[in-house]
Amino acid sequence: DMHKVQSVASISKVMTAILALEKGDLNATWKTGKELKQAYGSMIYLKEGQQVSLRSLLYGLMLRSGNDAALEIALHIGKTQKKFVQMMNEKAKELGMKHTQFKNCTGLDDDIKSGHFSSAYDVGLMSRELIMKHPGISKYSTVWMDTITHKTKKGESQFGLTNTNKLVRFYDGITGLKTGSTSKAKYCLSATAKRNGLNLIAVVMAAPDHKVRFSEAQALLDYGFANCSLYQDDYSGMKFDSPAIRGGIPEKLTVYPKKSFSHTFTAAYDKNKIEKKITYQELKAPIKKGTTVGFITYSYQGKTLGKVPLLAMQ
């Protein structure tokens, strides 16, 4: 049921974190406003007029799942929560999340009928966006315990934070990411882990209790690491022909791959049977540096695995 529409609770905050890192400055500081009164539920207990930073709010968001932290981030990035939610939905559409719609930045009191929902697959898509585009989020999502300093006119006070994701305590290679639970959504978890260069995401929705969500996510990740393996090509020892250019001075062009190639196999494979084929386009001067002039195509047992563009070096 990976595409089944579900209540997602605080896993919604994965999208809040994406927009915070995509559009915000971690070093930005400001004073909180009156809108904080709208927040309730899981909190880090921010006060009106308190000096905060986006960096500290991310800790509150990812560790404690603070609804007040999420709201303050939304107000800072979007100016209003309504505008921020619009940005959340636009990003969801951009990521291809076809079974998702957000109504708020927290996931609190989400309800399918009210229009706040997602699916396990879509949660996986936005989790991948967060963990791969912003790997630094692991600094926030894998801390077990920390404190946040509240600065107000009355002085400073410390508030303890404990990670809601229990897997960070014992699962090898865990990189995050986010829990969620309400009476409607039950217990949800998007768990991310990395071993030997292989990144996996396990999503569990509507588990009956918190222990089940962690045990099921662990079982999924264990299965993935046992059955998946990563092939990577760094082009060492690989020679690239210098293609001829009609009307070119010089007549030969030096090329280089745009990026390294990697592919995740979900079953056993023979590395020696991976085929690489270099093809060039018909080249005619002038050619600009960085222009795509050909491709390396990777295939295995007749199936194409992917392509890497070859670019002109001059």
Catalytic residues: 10, 13, 65
Residue 177: burial class (beta carbons within 10 Å; 0-12, 13-18, 19+): buried
Residue 73, classed as helix, strand or coil, is helix
Q: Identify the CA nearest to 13 among candidates 53, 80, 59.
A: 59
d(CA 69, CA 102) in angstroms, rounded, equals 17
d(CA 95, CA 160) in angstroms, rounded, equals 34
As a dihedral over the C-alpha atoms of residue 258, residue 260, residue 261, residue 262, rounded to 10 degrees, the angle is -140
Residues 283, 293 contacting (CB under 8 angstroms):
yes
Other Cβ atoms less than 10 A from the Cβ of 42: the count is 20
